[in-house]
Structure 1
Amino acid sequence: MLERPARTLPRSAAGFWIVAAAFTAVMSLGTAPSPLYPLYQQAYGFSSVTVTIVFAAYAVGVLGSLFLVGHLSDQLGRRRMLLAALVTAAASAVVFIVSPELPGLILARLLSGVAVGMVTSTGVAALAELDAVARPGRGGRRAAVVGTAANLGGLGLGPLVAGVLADLAPWPLHLPYLVHLVALLVAAALLALVPETVRRPDPRPPYRPQRAAVPPGLRRQFAAAAVAAFVAFALFGLFAALGSAFVGATLGSPSHTLGGLSTTATFGTAALVQALVRDPSGRWAGPLGAAAVPVGLAVVVAAAWWPSLPLFLAGEVAVGAGVGLMFSGAVRVVASGAAPENRAEAVAGLFLTAYLGLTLPVLGLGVATQYASPPVVLTVYAGLAALLAVAAGRSVRHARP
């Protein structure tokens, strides 16, 4: 780490919030297209399968970036990696604006995913280090809360901003990305004010991707946590990829703002509960979340069969709380159970499983909607997710380090 003279304290305090804003801007772009998918379907004739393929491109970008470049800020510096993430996200926004057809949309989603993968681990580490400099001895709680708010809160903010702009402003398939582009460029310019918190090693170690491995003594815990993470991200993917279209087609609401709110409710509630949870071992957070998920899914399914937007949103809030607790519990179980020398690899393995949950089930969901009505597909999907959530909750509760 770099030496931290007293003059860096004001810069670190300001830098903390600049990094938080940059982190939020990148994450927000990652979900901004969610309420706009019905517009793409109308304009270009996309099917629900096409929409899920576009969403899967984002998940592939995140996953590849997490394992190939996300860890390089330890060698290259936090600020340099944050700038690379912002530039990549800005390139994504430009592609969204200039090429809204399917090839451009897939490329834009892939670039957005790469940027999210770059900023996720880098932003969390930078916030913790800047907070430690600006407020020494405070325990890092603020960094954890702000990091969670920037991460999941940013994912929840994007659909709401895009939905409001699509309803109230012109150029609905362009203006939301232009607004994000401006925010990303401003954040990139402000990074010049952020002090670097990492001393680059000399000589630089050889490049290798982030390893993902399960320590032998953690296999039972990891299996339980991995199922919880898979289910949590499968439900994130459900509402991010198809939530807006479901609100429009099944619940009969033409509002893109409400369509965006259907995604915001899930991510925003997940961010809130993760920020409030104090469960270092993850032993009660996971099981409690697993109990909340079936309740929320039951409400969502009821709203699908007996169309009610308030009921649908209430169910999403419950699901968001449940998946937020499930995922935070899964991470804590793995992180607290692994030895320090294996922790990064174990957590990376958990994220690999989580992003498979974000990709594979949603692709299957998109295909299923071609052969059955949305309420039927949602009921089956929700039933399977609820069963897996309950099983994961029981396993996490009984697993021992």
Structure 2
Amino acid sequence: MSEVNLMADSSHHATVKMRTLCFIALALVAALLNSSAPTPLYPLYQQQLGLTAVSLTIIYGAYAGGVLIALFSVGNLAGKVADLRSLMMPALLAVFAGALLFSLADSFACLFMARLLAGLGTGALTGAANIALLRFGPKDGGKAAALIATLSFTTGLALGPVFSGVAIQTDFYSQTLPFVLIMMTAAIALTGLRLSWPAHHHDQPRVVSSSSAISADAALKTGLKATGIRFFLCAGALFMSWAFAASILSIGPAVAEHLLDIHRQGVYGYVIAVYLVVAGISQILSRRISARTSLAAGCLTQVISILFFTWAISTHSLTGACAGLLVAGYSYGAIFVGSATLVNMISPASSHAKLISLFYVIAYIANWVPVLLGAVVDHASLNLAIDLLFSVGAFICLLLSITVFWIKMEKRD
């Protein structure tokens, strides 16, 4: 009888853990929905509120600001608390509040705060959710946790523009409905985490000594010295990839309307969804090849995507634009996986955490590149902004691809 009870108890714990994993994944989906859903709506906001291109890109960049604030303020706490709900539930409340502000947005300030809260929620949630996935997932070295996180991110990012695109095309509360759906998703995830969390699951927080805190700067300097140019190649590649992606998401609707003659509102949401799905698939597939090959190929295909976009704009070719978007999606995933994997490989253990933190800080700064492009649009033209993005981006990505092939990357110092 005791053996039967033991098996039943084990089965019950497995079911509870699986349910918890599902709600953790749903929490990530809610956060990423709130990140991508506004993209097709930017032209409507700009038209109705009389926003300049700079104002629009500042609203977009506020999300990155929120993520960075969260990473700096609570990011290091995720590995030190026993009950990760203390981080995840407030983060979900921030996601909910951001979506609520979006549904009521009637000014630049309201949109800015909505994006800032969305970033704060995503930044605070990501670290805690990833650690929770490791704690509750199977003991397979984190492979299942990484796959769940990737699928959650891809699902959230892709469905956000679809929600907005459908709302715009049907003209059914187009600036409200997407965010009501996000609030519902966040509320379900919040309730699920509150009720489904294993009652006796307690991981002891990791205690960091004062000497470790004092030596943090020294550890970063040591890590940068050990990795040298290789770290900056990886960070630079991800910066360029995210800068290009941010530009597609922020000023892409204006490019589609004014330079590609796509005047059907809502369609851009579906296009972006396809781009993000391709990026997610690319991340999964890129894990099967060497990190160095993935990074170099990603940089090279970024150049190819720029060539497709240039041809598409000059000839008003939708086929060229779609080809460029698909190639850009692959490039995004390949660069992300290749650069992140290489940074993990080359970083000394003593400075690994600090280098990873700096790596993502550099990458998130790329979300403010569209602000510079917005200034060019306001003071010159959209064509000039796109020409600058394409010419500078193509040159740097080609240089990065060649350098990655030339320099020995994998060896850990």
* TM-score over 0.5 for the pair: yes
**Quick one: which amino acid aligns to residue 94 of structure 1?**
L
Moved more, 180-189 or 161-170: 161-170
Q: Which residue of 1 aligns with 2:197?
A: 194
In the TM superposition, what is the alpha-carbon distance from 1:169 to its structure 2 partner? 4.1
The AA in structure 2 aligned to 1:125 is I
Query: Bigger CA drift: 144-153 or 204-213?
Result: 204-213
TM-fit CA distance, 1:130: 1.7
Query: CA–CA distance in 2 between the matches of 1:204 and 1:230?
Result: 31
Q: Distance in 2 between matches of 1:69 and 1:221?
A: 28
The residue aligned with 2:145 is 143
Identity %: 25
Letter in 2 for 1:64: I
- Residue 78 of structure 2: SS of its match in structure 1? helix
Q: Which has the larger radius of gyration?
A: 2
2:104 is the alignment partner of 1:104: no
3-state SS, counterpart of residue 253 of structure 1: coil
- Structure 1 residue 100, shift from structure 2 partner: 2.8
* Structure 2 letter corresponding to 1:131: G
Gaps of at least 5 residues in structure 2 are: 1-8
CA offset digits 1:237-258 (Å, max 9, x no partner):
1111111222122222233332
Does 2:228 match 1:219?
yes
Shift of residue 164 of structure 1? Answer: 1.4
Matched residue, 2:94: 88
Residue 289 of structure 1 pairs with residue 295 of structure 2: no
Distance 1:305 1:342 in 2: 47
**Mean CA deviation greater in 225-234 or 142-151:** 142-151
2: distance between equivalents of 1:302 and 1:278? 31
**Cα pair distance change 1:342/1:254, threshold 3 Å:** same
Match of 1:172 in 2: 174
- TM (normalized to structure 2)? 0.88
SS at match of 1:230: helix
* 2-structure distance, mates of 1:31, 1:93: 11
Q: Deviations along 1:16-59, whole A, 9 cap, x unmatched?
A: 12211110111111111110011011111112111101111111
Q: State the Cα distance separating 1:106 from its structure 2 match.
A: 0.5
Higher deviation after alignment, 193-202 or 140-149: 193-202
Contact 1:18 1:190 (C-alpha < 8 Å) held by counterparts: yes
Q: Which moved more, 1:342-351 or 1:73-82?
A: 73-82
Counterpart in 2 of 1:115?
Answer: 121
Residue in 2 aligned with 1:184? 186
- Distance change >3 Å, CA 131–CA 370, structure 1 → 2: same
CA drift of 1:334 comes to 0.7
- Note if contact 1:85-1:118 (Cα within 8 Å) is conserved in structure 2: yes
Aligned counterpart in structure 2 of residue 367 of structure 1, from 363, 369, 375: 375
CA shift in 2, pair 1:221/1:103, >3 Å = same
CA positional deviation for 1:105: 0.5
Q: Displacement, 1:176?
A: 1.2
Regions of 4+ moved over 4 Å: 202-212
| Residues 168-227 of structure 1, C-alpha deviations (whole Å, 9 max, x = no match) | 142211111111111111111111213386524398978989979350211221011111
Question: Is residue 267 from structure 1 mapped to residue 271 from structure 2 by the alignment?
Answer: no
Looking at structure 2, the residues matched to 43 and 287 of structure 1 have their Cα atoms a distance apart, in angstroms, of 43
Pairwise CA distance, 1:308: 2.6
* Pairwise CA distance, 1:9: 1.4
Question: Which residue in the other structure is 1:25 paired with?
Answer: 30
Unaligned ranges ≥5, structure 1? none
Equivalent runs, 1:47-66 vs 2, <5 Å: 47-66=52-71
| Matches of 2:408 and 2:106, distance apart in 1 | 47
Cα distance in 2 for partners of 1:342, 1:156 equals 34
Instruction: Give 1:327 shift.
Output: 1.8
How far, CA to CA, are the matches of 1:36 and 1:387 in structure 2? Answer: 32
Cα 1:151/1:213, change in 2 over 3 Å: farther
User: Following the alignment from structure 2 to structure 1, what is the Cα–Cα distance between the partners of residues 310 and 175?
Assistant: 30
Q: Deviations over 1:241-290 (max 9, x none)?
A: 11122212222223333211343233222211111222586111100101
Corresponding position: 1:353 with 2:362: yes
CA contact (8 A) 1:232 1:324 kept: no
2:4 match: none
Alpha-carbon distance between aligned partners in 1 of 2:147 and 2:293, rounded to the nearest angstrom: 19
